[in-house]
Amino acid sequence: MTLRFTLLEPAVHDRAGFRCGEATLDEFIARYASQNHRLGLATTHVLVDDEAPARIIGYASVAMAQLDLEALQPEDRRRLPRYPLPALRVGRLAVATADQRQGHGETLLGYIIDRALSLRQSEVGVCVVLVDALHDRAAAFYRAYGFRPTSDSALTLYYPLGR
């Protein structure tokens, strides 16, 4: 088994066969992910096994965003400007039911944080990774990896990329 990340390719990846246990996440990959890419709204990165490259193990959809300084925890506001901060938003993140509890969610999240750091180094400013968790269980997943709740909502979390 050799896992790799690639951008979603509708002609290659089996979007209709993806099931993760959350209907909205299944519907997104099947119906909206490629359209969002075409429109420049978000890109969807899929985790696949080279031995079965059409089967999507998991995916993460990301887009640029911004976050008001006041939404950060007080200790994260220091030395930052008072205007909206550049962010990378995780719009969706899901792992196929058959592949859950094997660390693939952590792998996807690590990949997205690495992408954010790479963008920050060479292409565009970004100081936080932002996510709107679907529910408390999803929020707990993100908090376990250092995401912090915004001042606005316990389900909107951010991960500071450091300074």
Neighbours of 158 (CB within 10 A): 24
Q: Is 133 exposed, middle or buried (0-12, 13-18, 19+ CB in 10 A)?
A: buried
Catalytic annotation present for 111: no
Give the C-alpha separation, 141 to 36, whole Å.
Answer: 25
Give the neighbor-by-neighbor strand order of the sheet with 85-95: 3-7, 43-49, 52-67, 85-95, 128-132, 156-160, 148-149
- Catalytic residue of the set 32, 83, 111, 142: 142
- Residues annotated catalytic, as ranges: 142
